[in-house]
Structure 1
Amino acid sequence: MASASEIVVPISSQKHDPAWNHCLQVRSAGRTKLKCNYCHKLFLGGGIHRIKEHLARHKGNASCCPKVPLEVQVAMQQSLEGSAARRKKKLKLADDVTKAIPIQAEGGEVDPAMMQFPDVINLGIVPVEVKEEGVSSKPPEKGRRKKIRYTSPPLQFSPIPLQTSALVSDVGKTTIGGITNKEQVYMAIGRFLFEAGVPLEAVNSAYFQPMVDAIASAGPGLGTFSYHDFRGWILKRSLDEVNNTLEQYKATWSRTGCTVLADEWTTSTGKTLINFLVYCPEGTMFMKSVDASHIVASADTLYELLKHVVEEVGERNVVQVITNYSEIHAAAGSKLSETFPTLFWTSCASQCIEAILEDIGKVNAIQEVIKNAKVITGFIYSHALVLNMMRNHTNGKDLILPCESQAAMNFITLKNMISLKENLRTMVTSSEWLASPYSRKTVGMLVTDLVCSLPFWSSCVAIVRITEPLLQLLKLVESSKRPAMGYIHIAIYQVKQMIKKELLKKSDYMTYWKIIDSRWNAQLPCPLYAAAFFLNPRFFFSIQGDVSNEISSAVLDCIERLVPEANIQDKIQKELSLYKSSSGDFGRPMAMRARNTLLPAEWWTTNGGACPNLMRLAIRILSQTCSTRGFERVHVPFEQIHNHRMNYLEHQRLCDLIYVHYNLRLQQRQILRYKPFDPISVDNIDVVGDWIVENDLFSDDADHANWMALNQPVATQMLPDYANDGEIETFIAGIDDDVIQGVGKNMEDDCDTKEDDDIHDGTSFT
């Protein structure tokens, strides 16, 4: 640091030598001096080169710095060695070119004796020299009167063969014509990722290409990056940027309300962590991660944790708190609702739907079909030759598609395999397959039989038709573009009706209705869902007559809980009559047309001005999500911040780092439109599971497995949840007036499942 008698002089942006990052330029007693950042020694002369020697601990021209960090010392040593090598190479190059120029004899003729050129003068790539500040690059010869300018000869350019042993410093050099060898750039990035152990999935980040572009635009002389820079001012500035974005989210909470999400999960070491997030239509923000290993064992301790988070967000902003479902969570949620009478506790709809899919996957006949399908995919994805063959026949398409839910993976994969059925049949009947050794192996013959089996494919089609409505509902619930609150009450009825239309026989479809009801009715009844159905103009104005008492009571429950002021409650009661009768602005032709086109909350914002109190309540209800799903947690070191053997200051820094890390991921979820996907990647193993692992009974040729024989996959792109709008819109559009009438008046056909037969084994669809 500069003393009181010293004035720090800003360092010019034109000074690119890396040593400038480790010293100060100060003015004292009328003289400009350089000062070491570590030992604070002042240098009156010698320029930045002497500072560099000081930091590199080179004895001779400067004293050695006693406090320089090791990584800085090594960087300065490398910089000095590089400068010396560049000077030596330049001198040699100048000498070689000088010898190659014919010298004119007296009289203006060229002396023939001087025209003996070397057989080959390969100037190769002439590097662009970056002069080291404070060090003259002039050759040591004295008395030179004329400076000769040398240029590259007009040679035809051919790319340099890739040298895997090339140093990273070679990347900055340019080829003839100023073109950088891209392979060297890729190799430099690869070496960094491999040596540092960075997950290769990092290149999928929405921020990766902007980083590369920023480095490229800076050009030569950007300088080295400091470990302390990233831990210091860069992290601080990133924290400020993230907080600025999140402040924009927070500014909307008073209008739209927000939902506190308790994303609970278990680590590989058995710890139970809860990541707390806050959802609003503007975006989802990550608050903090809590080690709840002992907290979730007691309803009282879990309640205290939830209470603290609600107070931190602001009781007036919170519409609901969503957690896992269990007796302990339900008890804690009930107590939380008593403490805060202006919010609701609900359980996660995504987890409920996934539990339904898991139960359906356990039906005997369905379980058998999935097992056979895994034999096909496990065999194909375990052998490079067969996988290349399959991709050739499917035009690069994979059997396994990206999916965030392990429970949904079974049925998404079956659906995709059906779409590629003919391609698989062509493959197993091709001469290439018949000539391969795999077609004669036991598992190879089994795969051939399955791919050519009509009953197998018929069963796959039946399973997909049963589960497709649930998959569409799962996408709706997890959509970050369309809040699901206005649709979830009717959506489960729509799912059941679609299954009924598919199976027809009551003894068949009741098997799946019972599975759905056993999960849905136990976990998800909530006044918010019914009130949101009532306030969604798409559904309410399709009901002929009065709604059921269940829905009317739910609306009143929401008014009493979410609007504590009695006078505002009375105003809402009066404004409800205008909504029910479609009076005033609600009855305008454009308002009626917009019922099916605008999102419910947007419709109220546009047309609810005559009923301001009801409009505010409707917007707060219809703007909420139904799922705790945040973003994938892989490669985020949540567990590390719960290590109590850590310096307090470093723990604060690590918490801020993870705060920035996860919030950038949440923002990336809305930025990123495409994501490359490789089914066999270890990054996807938690979801893909045993779909890409061959059965051990058939693994008799593991010695032939070689990933280097694989053709590079076609860039399969994964669209995030908001890109599935087509399927979501199809699902919503399929909700007809009969279903709306049934839901509105609580008249579901065959809803009494208690009197039906016992659950069947589900074999009828085969």
Structure 2
Amino acid sequence: MESELEPVPVGALKRDVAWKHCQMFKFENRTRLKCIYCGKMFSGGGIHRIKEHLAGQKGNGPTCPRVHPDVRRIMRQSLEGSIVKSRRKQKRTEDGQRLLGPGELETVATHDEAITGLQLLSTPDTGEPLSLLAKEEEGTTSDRMIGRTGNPSPLMTSNTHPISNLTLGLPRGKDHVHMAIGRFLYDVGAPLDAVNSVYFQPMIDAIVSEGPGLRAPSYHDIRGWILKKSVEEVKSLVDQYKGTWAKTGCSILADEWTTETGRVLIHLMVYCPEGTVFLKFVDASDIVRSPDALYELLKEVVEEVGVQNVLQVITDSTEYYAIAGKRLTETFPTMYWTPCAAHCINLMLEDIGKFEWINAVLGHAKSMTRFIYNHVEVLNMMRKYTYGKDLIQPAVTRSATDFTILKNMVSLKSNLQDMVTSQEWMDCPYSKKPEGLVMIDVIYSQSFWSSCSSIVNLTEPLLRVLRMVGSEKRPAMGYIYEGMYRVKEAIKKELVEKKDYLVYWNVIDQRWNRQLPRPLQAAGFYLNPKFFYSIEGDVHNEIMSGMLDCIERLVPEIKTQDKITKELSSYKNAVGDFGRKMAIRARNTMLPAEWWSTYGGGCPNLARLAIRILNQTCSAAGFKQNQISFKQIHNITRNRLEHQRLSNLVFVQYNLRLRQRILRKNQELDAMDPISFDNIDTVEDWITEKEEMTVDNGRSDWMALDQPLANAMLAPSPNDEAYGLDAGFEDDEIFDGVKDGEENGLVNQ
């Protein structure tokens, strides 16, 4: 039946919090709702039944076994709030019926609606109630304005104009609330994407659940007891993660970035499959070029986390970190130093973007998008012909953004061509302008689109690996080696001629293979049953050598090493539980670490090592930073107590954001706007007009712009785990890479 279900988009008018946690379908003219966590389909009961399902409230249907505890809590709060509202409404109606005659009810109700918009205004104390129906369980409207604590509300001031006067003329209801939220965000200068925080809706739900009269926390509350309790709450979460490090192992991440003032900060984090936790940050401006100082810093963190728990330390790939990493592994011979995979892949994309012909194609594409995204009429027309989809799709880095946008443009080629051949475009004044004529030439150019397709085929595998190493859905260690194999395979398949594809292989090898051998990644490939059992013939020596190296380094006990070596034979020959039909089916469906936990009981020593290796990440790259506290915390003239408070604030803020990455995995967000200031860092070259461009006197009113459709830019990415290019791993040339003699012949290519 599911194949006959027709997806129905959730409209903007559906504001209930539960709509973000279900999908809507139509079947035989009936609407059905599906839980996004367990897949349960509901044919009746509406959104309220879904909410009960997620809240774990038994009665009208089964409860969801997979919903996150935070989501379950929100649903319960929402249900409790609905019950309270219903009881208050019923009580008001009963009071009105008891105090007033039937003929008077309609008149009083009309009067009550008229004063609703004035309830937030300060009023003189006349000693008389405004209306009998204005009373709540907690007291009158005046009582609510004073608040439950008995203190005057900040909205009531005798010698100044009340702030609530800003709401005059606004009807009560949803728009009134949204305007109040917007006014607050604008006033404090908060980033506008703050509304995408997973903590935003729970905050609103908590306020609503308290009902009228709730007094806002004070400045001292926020920086005092609330921050203190938040620190304790986050430390408790960190302690939960620490409890898993002994079993799954962990990776120490050193993420370096530069502030607007030129200070170099190193964020020190710990990754495990449960989640990443932020330990602290260090101002490394004076030590970032000192291998000795970096070594001492990383050594201190390893000792803090526990060397018995640490499998690797991941840092930038610069020479200074490489020297510090080598010293670190000499001091702690049971762990590895690994360069950040995301950083290496981004450098590959940068190098590929510098090829002359690729740079020229990107230049033509950027000239087109700059013209479109700087003129309201053209941008509205483009979004009309692409059905709300945008050409610009920000990615994690500038180079990744370049090739992501190029791929998106190729997918919308026919839409763009339909636009410039339409009568609407012919009648548009911009169609006659020089930039418009240039855009038409580019869109009509067959060589341009052919080159775009070739570039997409060359770079998309690298983009998939980049998305994979940054994924929160699964640890990347079991997939990265296969991913890089498929990258080279795709390039070879696209270019065919050896002299052509070796040029790009050389770019990859310069940033990857020649920097440092990666035994952990080779072992991850070997221990992933999905890939290992796909190998025909003998395992390549590089993979086997990496596996043996991990056994020697990560398992210091010689007796245990010998046991693991014997157990490798059972794994290789699929003996015992490894050969069960269930285990064979699960090779392609279960995460590799879970597969070993389920079927590796007959080889306990090998299974323990496999679980620890397969549960690691390959990247230290963090996320877009908000420097809200860093400027203050690095002020030379600072108070020691305030410095500690700000350090705690950073600790809470960073860990909440790391937690948010996990919580929002299945959350649909509002569509990102590619021309917003929030995305300017990565898309600037695609949307910012050059100074020498002709001054345009046409309309540039952003309020006339059609906004992006919901989730138009958040289409599901392809499955980054299954490449599906070719089966098997029998191409020895891919493993061997570019030979020295071949590299010399590529210099002038």
Give the TM-score category using the shorter length.
0.7 to 0.9
Q: What are the Cα deviations for residues 386-409 of structure 1, in whole angstroms up to 9, with x where unaligned?
A: 111211221211111131122111
2:668 aligned residue: 674
Q: Take 2:322 and 2:305, find their aligned partners in 1: how far apart are those partners?
A: 21
For structure 1, which runs of at least 5 residues remain unmatched after alignment?
A: 1-100, 103-119, 141-146, 153-165
2:555 aligned residue: 563
- Conserved? CA contact 2:269–2:277, under 8 Å: yes
The alignment status of 1:515 with 2:507, answered yes or no, reads: yes
Which of the numbers 675, 679, 688 marks the counterpart of 2:683? 688
- Letter of the structure 1 residue corresponding to residue 610 of structure 2: A
Q: What are the Cα deviations for residues 414-467 of structure 1, in whole angstroms up to 9, with x where unaligned?
A: 111111112212222223322232222211111111111111111111111111
The alignment status of 1:408 with 2:431, answered yes or no, reads: no
Compared with structure 1, are the counterparts of its residues 172 and 249 closer, same or farther at alpha carbon in structure 2 (3 Å cutoff)? farther
Compared with structure 1, are the counterparts of its residues 761 and 442 closer, same or farther at alpha carbon in structure 2 (3 Å cutoff)? farther
- Letter of the structure 1 residue corresponding to residue 727 of structure 2: D
Which of the numbers 681, 705, 718 marks the counterpart of 1:710? 705
Structure 1 position 719, deviation (Å): 4.6
Moved more, 536-545 or 200-209: 536-545
1:599 aligned residue: 591
Structure 1 position 662, deviation (Å): 1.2
Compared with structure 1, are the counterparts of its residues 244 and 717 closer, same or farther at alpha carbon in structure 2 (3 Å cutoff)? farther
The alignment status of 1:399 with 2:394, answered yes or no, reads: no
- Conserved? CA contact 1:352–1:523, under 8 Å: no
Structure 1 position 171, deviation (Å): 9.2
- Conserved? CA contact 1:318–1:343, under 8 Å: yes
- Conserved? CA contact 2:509–2:738, under 8 Å: no
Which of the numbers 281, 287, 293 marks the counterpart of 2:279? 287
1:488 aligned residue: 480
Matched pairs, number: 614
Q: Take 2:365 and 2:688, find their aligned partners in 1: how far apart are those partners?
A: 12
Compared with structure 1, are the counterparts of its residues 342 and 148 closer, same or farther at alpha carbon in structure 2 (3 Å cutoff)? closer
1:13-162 matches, within 5 Å, as: 124-125=114-115, 138-139=127-128
Structure 1 position 593, deviation (Å): 1.9
2:71 aligned residue: none
SS across alignment from 1:288: strand
Q: Take 1:280 and 1:705, find their aligned partners in 2: how far apart are those partners?
A: 49
Which of the numbers 334, 358, 369 marks the counterpart of 1:342? 334
Identical-residue share of aligned pairs (%): 55
- Conserved? CA contact 1:325–1:347, under 8 Å: yes
Structure 1 position 641, deviation (Å): 2.2
2:156 aligned residue: none
1:611 aligned residue: 603
Q: What are the Cα deviations for residues 136-179 of structure 1, in whole angstroms up to 9, with x where unaligned?
A: 97459xxxxxx995899xxxxxxxxxxxxx9653699999xxx9
Q: Take 1:747 and 1:633, find their aligned partners in 2: how far apart are those partners?
A: 37
1:578 aligned residue: 570
Structure 1 position 572, deviation (Å): 1.7
The alignment status of 1:217 with 2:204, answered yes or no, reads: no
Q: Take 1:131 and 1:433, find their aligned partners in 2: how far apart are those partners?
A: 51
- Conserved? CA contact 2:121–2:162, under 8 Å: no
SS across alignment from 1:376: helix
SS across alignment from 2:172: coil
The alignment status of 1:458 with 2:453, answered yes or no, reads: no
Compared with structure 1, are the counterparts of its residues 435 and 497 closer, same or farther at alpha carbon in structure 2 (3 Å cutoff)? same
Compared with structure 1, are the counterparts of its residues 544 and 188 closer, same or farther at alpha carbon in structure 2 (3 Å cutoff)? closer
Structure 1 position 561, deviation (Å): 1.5
Structure 1 position 727, deviation (Å): 2.6
Q: Take 1:438 and 1:373, find their aligned partners in 2: how far apart are those partners?
A: 18
- Conserved? CA contact 1:349–1:524, under 8 Å: no
Moved more, 426-435 or 662-671: 426-435
Q: Take 1:313 and 1:148, find their aligned partners in 2: how far apart are those partners?
A: 64
Structure 1 position 338, deviation (Å): 0.6
- Letter of the structure 2 residue corresponding to residue 296 of structure 1: V
Q: Take 1:265 and 1:699, find their aligned partners in 2: how far apart are those partners?
A: 37
- Conserved? CA contact 2:488–2:734, under 8 Å: no
Compared with structure 1, are the counterparts of its residues 170 and 216 closer, same or farther at alpha carbon in structure 2 (3 Å cutoff)? farther
Structure 1 position 378, deviation (Å): 0.5
1:255-270 matches, within 5 Å, as: 255-270=247-262
Q: Take 2:622 and 2:557, find their aligned partners in 1: how far apart are those partners?
A: 34
The alignment status of 1:752 with 2:739, answered yes or no, reads: yes
Structure 1 position 529, deviation (Å): 1.4
Compared with structure 1, are the counterparts of its residues 694 and 243 closer, same or farther at alpha carbon in structure 2 (3 Å cutoff)? same
Please tell me the root mean square deviation across aligned C-alpha atoms, in Å: 3.1
2:491 aligned residue: 499
Compared with structure 1, are the counterparts of its residues 433 and 129 closer, same or farther at alpha carbon in structure 2 (3 Å cutoff)? closer
Q: What are the Cα deviations for residues 617-646 of structure 1, in whole angstroms up to 9, with x where unaligned?
A: 111111101011222213543343232421
Q: Take 2:131 and 2:546, find their aligned partners in 1: how far apart are those partners?
A: 90
- Letter of the structure 1 residue corresponding to residue 739 of structure 2: D
Q: Take 2:254 and 2:559, find their aligned partners in 1: how far apart are those partners?
A: 34
- Conserved? CA contact 1:363–1:761, under 8 Å: no
SS across alignment from 1:432: helix
2:727 aligned residue: 736
TM-score (normalizing by structure 1): 0.75
- Letter of the structure 2 residue corresponding to residue 754 of structure 1: G
Q: Take 1:513 and 1:700, find their aligned partners in 2: how far apart are those partners?
A: 44
- Conserved? CA contact 1:284–1:666, under 8 Å: yes
1:51 aligned residue: none
Q: Take 1:464 and 1:496, find their aligned partners in 2: how far apart are those partners?
A: 14
Q: Take 2:132 and 2:487, find their aligned partners in 1: how far apart are those partners?
A: 79
For structure 2, which runs of at least 5 residues remain unmatched after alignment?
A: 1-102, 105-109, 136-160
SS across alignment from 1:698: coil
2:173 aligned residue: 181
Which of the numbers 365, 379, 391 marks the counterpart of 2:357? 365
- Conserved? CA contact 2:401–2:683, under 8 Å: yes
Compared with structure 1, are the counterparts of its residues 671 and 509 closer, same or farther at alpha carbon in structure 2 (3 Å cutoff)? same
Q: Take 2:424 and 2:748, find their aligned partners in 1: how far apart are those partners?
A: 40
2:36 aligned residue: none
1:384-463 matches, within 5 Å, as: 384-463=376-455
Compared with structure 1, are the counterparts of its residues 583 and 451 closer, same or farther at alpha carbon in structure 2 (3 Å cutoff)? same
Q: Take 2:465 and 2:112, find their aligned partners in 1: how far apart are those partners?
A: 67
1:539 aligned residue: 531
- Letter of the structure 2 residue corresponding to residue 693 of structure 1: T
Structure 1 position 478, deviation (Å): 1.6
- Conserved? CA contact 2:390–2:712, under 8 Å: no
Structure 1 position 130, deviation (Å): 9.9
Q: Take 1:617 and 1:513, find their aligned partners in 2: how far apart are those partners?
A: 32
2:75 aligned residue: none
Q: Take 2:132 and 2:537, find their aligned partners in 1: how far apart are those partners?
A: 93
2:266 aligned residue: 274
- Conserved? CA contact 2:389–2:713, under 8 Å: no
Structure 1 position 204, deviation (Å): 1.3
2:151 aligned residue: none
Compared with structure 1, are the counterparts of its residues 167 and 668 closer, same or farther at alpha carbon in structure 2 (3 Å cutoff)? farther
Q: What are the Cα deviations for residues 343-382 of structure 1, in whole angstroms up to 9, with x where unaligned?
A: 1001011111111111111111110000000000011111
The alignment status of 1:630 with 2:622, answered yes or no, reads: yes
TM-score (normalizing by structure 2): 0.77
